[in-house]
């Protein structure tokens, strides 16, 4: 009984540590990519706004990674929102693409989910009476990966038939 319990604990630790290692490697790749983008943009990342989700985007059966992040510019008075999509390749991730998805006085993206091979973004847009900070019109937009490019759809895409 003792040997079985010890073996079970050992297996649990091995599987858990490989997951932690993969998650740490993913985080390092994402951090390096965003750091480079922020430097190119001449801004600063608003780290509390970073949101991610995973799911199969490219129809290969692996959980890809979608990361939404915000780059502040003009001393924090302006911002742009971006989405980076990373494909799972064995035990690592590789950037598929990045796209600007919102910004100051435009739509604000406040959630991201991946399902049925597409990305769903929850959005807030400005009504004519809204303050600059506070959009109130709730919406959704969708992105699919088609021929290696991220393409926006204003309505929910139908699941591709194989």
Distances (CA, A) of 151 to 62, 106, 119, 120, 144: 20, 18, 10, 12, 5
Structure tokens at 28: 């390092």
- Quick check: is 160 in a domain? no
pLDDT at 13: 43
| Structural domains counted in the chain | 1
- Quick check: is 159 in a domain? no
**Per-residue pLDDT tens for 66-102?**
999 999 987 767 899 999 999 998 889 999 999 999 9
Average pLDDT in the chain? 84
- Quick check: is 146 in a domain? yes
97 or 22, which is more confident = 97
- 8 A C-beta contact, residue 145 and residue 125: no
Q: What's the whole-model pTM score?
A: 0.80
- Quick check: is 158 in a domain? no
pLDDT at 21: 52
**Per-residue pLDDT tens for 113-133?**
998 899 999 999 989 898 888
Distances (CA, A) of 28 to 13, 25, 34: 22, 5, 10
């Amino acid at each position: 009984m003792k040997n079985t319990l010890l073996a079970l604990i050992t297996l649990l630790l091995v599987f858990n540590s490989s997951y932690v290692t993969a998650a740490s490697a993913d985080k390092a790749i994402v951090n390096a990519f965003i750091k480079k983008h922020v430097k190119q943009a001449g801004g600063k990342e608003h780290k509390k706004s970073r949101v991610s989700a995973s799911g199969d985007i490219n129809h290969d059966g692996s959980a890809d990674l979608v990361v939404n992040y915000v780059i502040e510019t003009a001393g924090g008075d302006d911002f742009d929102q971006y989405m980076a999509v990373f494909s799972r390749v064995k035990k690592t991730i590789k950037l598929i693409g990045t796209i600007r998805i919102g910004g100051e006085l435009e739509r604000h993206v406040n959630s991201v989910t991946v399902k049925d091979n597409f990305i769903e973004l929850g959005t807030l847009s400005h009504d004519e009476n809204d303050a600059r900070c506070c959009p109130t019109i709730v919406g959704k937009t969708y992105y699919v990966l088609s021929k290696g490019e991220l393409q926006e759809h204003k309505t929910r895409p139908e699941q591709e038939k194989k």
